[in-house]
Amino acid sequence: MLHVIIHKCPNDNCQHRINALNQLNPAERILQKTKSSQFKLNYTYREYLFQAQEITLPGPLKPLVNIRKIHNSQNILGLILSFYVSFAISARKTAFILQQVFKINVSYQTVLNYAEAAAYHCHQFNLKHKGPVDDTSAGDETYIKIIGEWAYVFLFISSKNLVLSAYHLSHTRETLPAIITMTEAIRTAKPQQKITLISDGNPSYPAGIHFMNEKRSPELPRIEHHAVIGLQNLDQESTTYRSFKQLIERLNRTFKFHVRPASGFKSDNGALSLIILFATHYNFLRPHISLDYRTPVEIPELQDIETIQGRWIKILSMAAT
């Protein structure tokens, strides 16, 4: 299916092309004469043809296990999610700890099955309870392995409340997954809120924001975008917005810590399930020092529950209703 039509100005005397030529340094001018394909001087416009159903954030598959009818108690389910997700322990070690410490006989496959069943409900819980987003958010993509192949996890985080506002699993770094993630990241923004999104130099982000602005009502403010390039501040834009890029990099490191014990995944759904559960843990269960040890999203029903497994159980009971 055709997703984009590229319109390129053929006029060599176009003012846009002349300005681009004038900005080349002497070495670039010489190279442009022999390798002109390396320089995009003509005005180019991309018309994206994505449909509304393509931009919908996909959720996990319906699990084989009915979380309301599992053979173990809800407390055991809470312990499994606490070890496997919150404490970032692999499924095999989680099963081993439960057997050796608590004398609870569960297999590592049971741990994975329960995680997928919990993620199915937690996904809707995450979307429903995310709350409003800040004016500025930062996004990036990081890497995981699925059946030996690299896949990409797009993440966005609010700059003040530190809410993990969007997550999306994709096998490409192209424009469509960037649009899906950014659309979810700003879904709960107020209608007249001025939104600024910060990213790295991946061209999928500005292309996606261009598409999103085209689809927005003319009465709404345009979404702004700023790119932070490289590891050093070599331009004013990178200097101004570097702190936001560092924010998403810290989130990426935290995410990596939680998924590294899995040592890769055997299916997209297994990977997506852990991504969803990580988002639940990050937003509702993990206290942040910079927030005075509050969670990014505070749920009143969780405040008086002392144990982390108890809070997991409460989230699931709220999510499954």
- Residue 101 falls inside a structural domain: no
State whether 276 and 136 are in the same domain.
yes
For residue 317, is it within any domain?
Answer: no
**Domain of 157, in residue numbers:** 132-287
pLDDT (average), residues 112-121: 95
Q: Please give the Cα distance from 50 to 211 (Å, whole number).
A: 9
The pLDDT confidence band at residue 108, using thresholds 50, 70 and 90, is: very high
Same domain, 279 and 145: yes
Q: Are residues 235 and 140 in the same domain?
A: yes
136 and 24 in a common domain: no
Instruction: Tell me, yes or no, whether 138 and 260 share the same domain.
Output: yes
> How many domains is the chain partitioned into structurally?
2
Both 273 and 146 in a single domain? yes
299 token code pair? 């749920």
The C-alpha atoms of residue 82 and residue 101 are separated, in whole angstroms, by 15
Q: Cβ distance 88 to 260 under 8 Å?
A: yes
- My answer on whether 158 and 277 are in the same domain is yes
pLDDT in tens, 137-148: 999 999 999 999
277 and 169 together in one domain: yes
For residue 321, is pLDDT > 80? no
Residue 32 predicted with pLDDT over 90: no
Check residue 1 and give its pLDDT. Answer: 56
Rounded to whole angstroms, the Cα distance separating 25 from 35 reads 15
- The DSSP symbol for 82 reads I
Cα radius of gyration rounded to whole Å, the chain = 23
What is the Cα–Cα distance from 241 to 222, expressed in whole angstroms?
A: 19
Token pair, residue 285, equals 């269960």
Q: Would residue 123 count as lying in a domain?
A: no
Tell me what pLDDT residue 299 has.
95
- pLDDT for residue 26: 86
Residue 36 lies in a domain: yes
153 lies in the same domain as 247: yes
DSSP H/E element including 139: strand 136-146
Tell me the HSE value of 9 on the side-chain side, using a 13 A CA sphere: 14
Residue pointed to by tokens 């997954």: 177
| Torsion angle defined by CA atoms of residues 268, 274, 275 and 276, in that order, rounded to the nearest 10 degrees | 110
Q: Does 195 fall in a domain?
A: yes
My answer on whether 171 and 41 are in the same domain is: no
For tokens 């500005």, what's the residue?
A: 206
What pLDDT sits at residue 40? 81
| DSSP line for 223-239 | PEEEE--SSS--SHHHH
150 and 262 in a single domain? The answer is yes
pLDDT of 14-27, one tens digit each? 898 888 888 888 88
The residue assigned the tokens 């699925």 is: 146
Q: Which DSSP category does 188 fall into?
A: T
Flag whether pLDDT at 49 surpasses 80: no
> How many whole angstroms separate alpha carbon 155 and alpha carbon 261?
20
Of 57, 103, 43, the closest CA to residue 76 belongs to: 103
Q: Does residue 246 form part of some domain?
A: yes
CATH (domain of 280): 3.30.420.10
Please give the span between the terminal C-alpha atoms of the chain, in angstroms, as a whole number: 39
Which pair of tokens denotes residue 179? Answer: 């649009």
Residue 25: the pLDDT is 87
- In this structure, the answer to whether residues 157 and 253 fall within a common structural domain is yes
H or E stretch including 105? Answer: none
pLDDT confidence tier of residue 41, bands split at 50, 70 and 90 = confident
* C-alpha closest to that of 166 among 210, 212, 231: 212
Residue 233 backbone class (left: φ over 0; alpha: ψ -120 to 50; beta: rest)? beta
Counting every residue written for the chain, the total comes to 321
pTM confidence score: 0.89
Cβ neighbours around 149 below 10 Å, total: 9
Q: Is the pLDDT of residue 88 over 90?
A: yes
Mean pLDDT across 118-127? 96
Structural domain includes residue 98 = no
pLDDT greater than 60 at residue 177: yes
Q: Is the pLDDT of residue 274 over 90?
A: yes
Domain assignment present for residue 235? The answer is yes
For tokens 């994709």, what's the residue? 170
